[in-house]
Structure formats: C-alpha cells, structure tokens
A and B are shown apart, each in its own frame.
Chain A
Amino acid sequence: MIKTNMPLRMVKDKASQGLVFLFSVLLAIPLMVILFYVVKNGLGVMSWTFLTHLPKPVGESGGGISNAIVGTLILVGLASLVSIPMGIFTGIYLSEYGNTKTAKYVRLCVEVLQGIPSIVIGIVAYVWVVVTLGHFSAISGGVALGMMMLPVITLSTEETIKLIPKTLKEASLALGVPYYRTMLSVILPTGLNGILTGALLGISRVAGETAPLLFTAFGSPFMNANITKPIQSLPLLIFNYSTSPYEEWQKLGWGASFLLISMIFCLSLITKGVTRKR
C-alpha cells in the first residue's frame, strides 16, 4: 500500500469545498443589500401619480415619471425595429454558412460588437445621427441601443437554428419547398421560442443602459412621442435625479430604480417561461 497523508488530503478537500461554498454564498450579501435599499426607498414612492404624471419643477413635491416610462418603451421599440430582423437574418446566415471563411469573420465581428463598451456606441450614434440631424433625438438613442441588441439576437438565433435537426430542413426541401420558404416557414417557426428568448434577452440588456443615451436621447422633462426630439428614459432619469442635490428628485430616482429593476426581472421571468416551453 502506498502511503499517503490521508488526514491532510481530507482536510484540504473539505477546506476547498468550504471556501468555494463560502465565496459563492457571500455574493448574496451585496445583492440583498442593494435590493433592500431599492425596495426600502423605492416602494414607498410607487403610486398611480408616480406612474402617470410628469415630473414637477424643483421645489414642488410629488409628480411622476410617465415621460421616462413612455420614453424607455419608445427607445426599446426603435432599437428592436431594426435589430431584431437584422439579427435574425444574420443568425440564419451564420447557422447556414457557419463553416465558410466569410461566416467565421462575420461571427467574429458580431462577438467583437458585443464587447464594445456602450459609451463608445454612444459616441458613434452621436456622430452618425445627432450631428447629422443637428440635435439630440429619440431616434439616435434607438440606433445606439439597436447596435447593442444586434449581437445578442444574432448569436441566439444562430444557436437556436443550429439545434434544429437537419432532417427537418431536408423533409421540407424534399417536398419541393423552395429554400427560402423552408427557412422562413419551417425552420423559423420551429425555432420561434429560442429566437424570442434572444429578443427578450436583447431587450433586457438594453432597457437599463444609460451610457449610450447620455448624448443621443439626452433626456427631456416633457412627454414626447416625436422620435426626432430628445426623449427621457428611466435609466437616464435615475442618473440625473440621483446625482442631483434635491432630495425630492432623489426619492423619485429610487422609485424609478425600483420600477426599472422590476421591469427587467419580470422580463427575465418571461424569458425563462418561454425557454422552458421549448
């Protein structure tokens, strides 16, 4: 029998397991603290007025953030409008031509795009849209957010389609169904859940983004549905109000944080529901 230091080995084993356990569980503390503060300061602010009214000028109490809620919806909608179809088509391309050299470069571009800091995307949207139009606008914010959503949707579409059995495509082609109809009417519906998951992931990724909106959507105290005008959004409002010296605004900021986090968590719950149905 080879002699090994069994007690020491066991101690090391237990110790490593304990450390892994400890560090993993420790992470719950900051999460709890953050959620505690957001709920404590934000829940009290929630009211019908908060959700449906416009902000009041400094010094007056009350008021709401309806413009930011509507703005966030518009910005996310604008972003989805281009990035979802474009992401789906690029995803189909990657899954169909995945082994060609071009496709490898395209995939690298998508992955790199995903890694570009949001503030840089903001600069680019500023140069492309704000400078061209001559002023800040909702559309420029939509462009910035769209660029951030695109890689998420592309990669999840690719993953989804790759998982669909090849025989399904062959079955359709063997019936004399043209290739484009096979992809659009057989493959896409089969992968609908996965693609939907990707879209929802993309939306929850950009719904909380502030940096790319700082000098594109810019923010506005008014209700606005004109996409060529500056527009408010929840994250922008949180940034402006939390760094303001007015306690009244800071309170609204906590309320908006609570609302934004709830929205994003709900989105991820829906995403999970969709994924499970697969």
Chain B
Amino acid sequence: MWTDRLQFFEIMFKKTLQVFAVLVCVLLGGIFLTLLVKSLPAIVSQGIRFVTGKEWDPVMGNFGAIPFVEGTLITSFVALLISIPFSLSIAIFLGEYFKQTWFSSVIKSIVELLAGIPSVVYGFFGLFVLVPFVRSLETPLGITPYGVGIFSAALILALMIVPYSASMSREVIALVPSDLKEAAYSLGATRYEVLRYIILPYASSGIFAGTLLALGRAMGETMAVTMVIGNSNLIPESLFGPGNTMASVIANEFTEATDKVHLASLIELGLYLFVITVVINSVGRYIISKFTIETQTQ
C-alpha cells in the first residue's frame, strides 16, 4: 500500500539523518585513532624521552619535543597577552559603548577584514615587512638582530586571534541582561562603573572561555608562524630568538621525513596538538553553554 512505501521513506530519512550525525562523531574518533596508531613507532622507540627530551635531531634519531612545546607555549601566551587589551576593547566597543552606531560598523568591518586575511598572507607580510621592522628595532636595543623569531611570530599571531576572541567576548557581553545594567544606571553609576562592577564580573566566565578558545587557536596556527619564527629546533634562547612550534615543525619537516620514526614523531606532535585543542574546546564550549543557559533562565 502507498502508506507502507511512505513509512519506508520516513524511516529511511530519519535513519539518514542519524547516520550522518553519527558519522561526524566517527570522524572525530577516527582522527584520534589515526594519530594514535601512526605515532606508535615514535611512542615505542622514544617513550617518555619524547616529552622530556630537549634535543630534536632526526639524523641521530633523537626526538625530544621540549623545544617545540616551549615554542608553542611562549608564542601563544605572548600573543594572547598582546591581544587581550585589543579584543576586550573591541568587544566592549561593539557590545556596549558604541553599540549600533556607524562607528561600530566601521570597527566591525575592520575586524571582519582582519579575520578574512588568510594565514599565509599574514606570513608573507610578516616575512617581508614585520621581520625587517623588528630587526631594525633589535639592533639599537643590543639584541641579536634575527628579525625572525618567537617575538615576531607572537606579534602576527596576536593580530590573527584578535578578531576571534573579540567576537567571542562580544557575544558574551551582549548576553548580560539589560535590566541589570539599567538597575545600576538608575542608582547613578557611571558607564565605567557599570562595566567594571556589573558587566565584566557577570561575563567573566564567558570571557575566560572565549580567551581559552582563542588560546587553542593560537596554539594550532601554522602557516604565519612557520614563516616568521625562524625554524630553529633548539630551545629558544630568548623571546627574540628563533624557535619552532609544534605546528610549525610539522609543516617544515613532514614532507622531508623519510625515516619512519621521524614521521611518527611528527604525527605524535600532531596527536598532542589534537588532544590539547580537544580539551581546550570542550572546556571552553562547556563554560559558554553553561553561561548561556544561566543567562536565559534568569
């Protein structure tokens, strides 16, 4: 009967939806397993030395990841520090102080344009404009004038994550209930006081989560960093010295890694990057969803 055929289509459609949804989870699991299995040779041959070793020497078969872990942590935290005043200002600018004025649409466009520039173009610009500029600053300061290095990478990285963390913080600030703000204003508070004592404390967990997610981004960013960080496999000697991040060393050495353990070591770096970003994203998203639910039930 025609209704039987319909029933069949109905069930097929619902099953298709479910299959696709489950497929996404399988994809994520598959990514993890792939990274794990393919890094086994390195895990077996290097063992704990991989995470404690300070030497990365493919010729001698020594793979210690400390230089890259340090490189990743320093670049991304410095970048985060530089970016916070900018991203927070923009979030407040767009979400509170100059909400829906023509000026805020200009700022919004600037942020969108920055977000639209591809990583490789940031790197290109960094290599040809920023690096010579940093070098010219380093000479009078008495620092070895590499130009390329951790600091240049952090500068570019900061610029790249500002749009992301600004938009995250703005969404959170926009969720602060307006009756709270109005209550404070009606008590005679100034804008600064409302911001300082109402908005920021209220939104703090959400802003923290947004910053965490931005950190996750910064740690995984590859191209721009690779192009300006100097690609040295030693522990960075200073903030201005050359180095490498976990992501940038993968980009540099992956196609040249003919040795099995070398390739597996690079994949193991990828595995750690994966695990770190999964944790950061899960925690960040969890905080944000909790924050959103709280504001909605009030």
- Mark A residues whose CB is within 8 Å of B: 9-10, 12-13, 15-17, 19-28, 30-31, 33-35, 37-38, 86, 89-90, 92-94, 96-97, 102-103, 105-106, 108-124, 126-128, 147, 150, 154, 178-180, 183, 204, 207-211, 214-215, 218, 235, 238-239, 242-243, 250, 253-254, 257, 260-261, 264-265, 268
CA distance A250 to B107 in the complex (A): 32
The 8 residue pairs across chains A and B that have the minimum distance between CB atoms: A117-B220, A208-B118, A180-B13, A23-B89, A115-B281, A211-B222, A89-B20, A13-B190
CA distance A90 to B17 in the complex (A): 6
The 8 Å CB contact of A268, one of B34, B112, B118, B282, is B112
Q: Which residues of B contact A113 (CB under 8 A)?
A: 24, 27-28
The 8 Å CB contact of A238, one of B17, B124, B254, is B124
On whether the beta carbons of A178 and B220 are closer than 8 Å, the reply is: no
On whether the beta carbons of B123 and A120 are closer than 8 Å, the reply is: no
On whether the beta carbons of B190 and A9 are closer than 8 Å, the reply is: yes
On whether the beta carbons of A27 and B111 are closer than 8 Å, the reply is: yes
B contact face: mostly helix, strand, loop, or mixed: helix
On whether the beta carbons of B278 and A150 are closer than 8 Å, the reply is: no
On whether the beta carbons of A235 and B118 are closer than 8 Å, the reply is: yes
Q: Any chain A CB within 8 A of the CB of B247?
A: yes
Cβ distance A34 to chain B, nearest Cβ, rounded Å: 5
On whether the beta carbons of B121 and A179 are closer than 8 Å, the reply is: no
Q: What mask results when residues 8 to 47 of chain B are scored 1 for a CB within 8 Å of chain A, else 0? A: 0110111011101111110110110011001000000000
12 A-B pairs, CB-CB below 8 angstroms?
Answer: A9-B192, A27-B111, A31-B113, A31-B114, A34-B117, A35-B113, A92-B17, A97-B21, A180-B9, A180-B10, A235-B223, A238-B121
Give B213's nearest chain A residue, CB to CB: A115
Residues A20 and B92 in contact in the complex (CB < 8 Å), given A92-B17, A106-B24: yes
Residues A37 and B251 in contact in the complex (CB < 8 Å), given A117-B219, A180-B10: no
- Mark B residues whose CB is within 8 Å of A: 6, 9-10, 12-14, 16-18, 20-25, 27-28, 30-31, 34-35, 38, 85-86, 88-90, 92-93, 97-98, 107, 110-114, 116-125, 127-129, 159, 162, 190-193, 195-196, 213, 216-217, 219-223, 227, 247, 250-251, 254-255, 266-267, 270, 273-274, 277-278, 280-282, 285
Q: Which residues of A contact B12 (CB under 8 A)?
A: 180
Cβ distance B221 to chain A, nearest Cβ, rounded Å: 7
On whether the beta carbons of A105 and B25 are closer than 8 Å, the reply is: yes
Cβ distance A203 to chain B, nearest Cβ, rounded Å: 12
On whether the beta carbons of B34 and A128 are closer than 8 Å, the reply is: yes
Cβ distance B55 to chain A, nearest Cβ, rounded Å: 23
On whether the beta carbons of A24 and B17 are closer than 8 Å, the reply is: no
On whether the beta carbons of B124 and A96 are closer than 8 Å, the reply is: no
Cβ distance A112 to chain B, nearest Cβ, rounded Å: 5
On whether the beta carbons of B254 and A106 are closer than 8 Å, the reply is: no
- What 7 new A-B contacts, CB under 8 Å, besides A116-B31, A123-B266, A210-B119? A25-B107, A90-B17, A115-B220, A117-B222, A179-B14, A180-B10, A214-B255
